[in-house]
Amino acid sequence: MPEGPEVYMSGQFVNEACKGRFFGGKIVKSAVSKSCEVTFTSPKYTISSETRGKELGLMLQCDEDKENKLRILFRFGMSGHFKFAPVDETVKHAHLSFFTQDEPKMALHFVDVRRFGSWEPCDTWGADRGPDPMFEYDKFRANVLDNLSNKAFNKPLCEVMLEQKFFNGVGNYLRSEIMYRAKAPPFSCARTLLESIKDGTATSPDFLQFCHDVPKEVIDLGTGKNYDLTSSGEDHEDFDEWLQCYNNLGMDSLADHNKRMVWFEGDPGPMAPKGVGVKKKPAAKPKGAKPAKKDTKKVSADSKDVAKAVEEEKDETDATNGGDKEVATSSNTRRGKRKAPEPNEEVEEETKPKRKKTTSEPKKSRGGKR
């Protein structure tokens, strides 16, 4: 799900793409979208955007009558984003489209592969959303610390961080990165940690300050997490390098009480789900590590040396290829290894002639020949 930095960058993209352009004509909604039709009566209008946390407001304003305007509130769901493309270019999964009057003809599309995104005409932000920790930091901080009596703060810290009423714009990767950098156990009690900040007894770094700084780092990168499921993701390599904890090798992971995976390092905290084991993502091999070299020594004709050489060759091949591969099935069974014969051991296939298989061998009758 696009988080605060990705929504903000989408807003900047819209402003840049639509700058100096005029739009007009019918606003087209796809037949499969469950969101409402959008009607705006204006021969010529401009488009601009603003964002707050995980919400984006798209403003349509008539060029001739400044009082004639419409604001559309977008929520991106799991994969929502905007694309700006030539009119004659087919854009898959486009669910709401605005068309320019300028040449060459272009279109601004709201694209959503998984169709969890939505929009509605609305002049305000969502009532269930709090201040933006990136751009309304003082209001964000006050909204959290002044409402610690709210029952939401009875929960583990990692679960409260997905409450958009208090942590607007924070999603799964941001919560993991913020807690990791603030050295806050994900399953510690949210109220206990935040009360220590409020009364000045906190010994760890200021957790709420990280809620402001970490997402701003993503914006400074100029690229966030890739939510375009039709994209290769090559433009997001800087973001992948920036991540220190989320989905990283060597880090621990555990599903919270809402079945959302949280990434961390070390002790998860006293409120971790019972009876669920912590998973660790295996550390990667050191960069530049070379596979084992094959033994180039001459093998003698002696049967004992031959058997030994066969076994060594097999072991080296397994080491180079990472051992026997697991098949991605429900059973994940592993192929067994066949042991090389000892020098003096008789091999059954060599001492006994193989019986040829025939597909049309007649079955003998119990009563003999008729």
> Any idea which residues carry the catalytic annotation?
2-3, 54
Burial class (CB in 10 A: 0-12, 13-18, 19+), 100: buried
Q: In the chain, where does DSSP find H-type helix?
A: 4-18, 137-145, 157-160, 172-181, 190-198, 207-221, 237-242, 303-320, 348-351
Kindly state the helix (H) or strand (E) to which residue 351 belongs, with its residue range: helix 348-351
Q: Beta 261-264 vs 252-255: how paired, if at all?
A: antiparallel
Tally the C-alpha atoms within 13 A of residue 313's C-alpha that lie toward its C-beta: 11
Q: ∠ CA(340), CA(345), CA(346), 5° rounding?
A: 105
Report the amino acid identity of residue 277: G
- Are the C-beta atoms of residues 253 and 261 closer than 8 Å to each other? yes
Q: Which residues pair with 313 in a beta bridge?
A: none
Q: How long a stretch of residues is the chain? A: 370
Cα–Cα distances (Å) from 112 to 5, 60, 77, in that order, read: 18, 21, 8
Q: Reading across the β-sheet that carries 261-264, which strands appear in turn? A: 261-264, 252-255, 279-280
- Are the C-beta atoms of residues 109 and 73 closer than 8 Å to each other? no
Q: In 199-332, where does DSSP find H-type helix?
A: 207-221, 237-242, 303-320
Distance CA 297, CA 290 (A): 20
Token pair 């009480």: residue:
257
Distance CA 40, CA 27 (A): 8
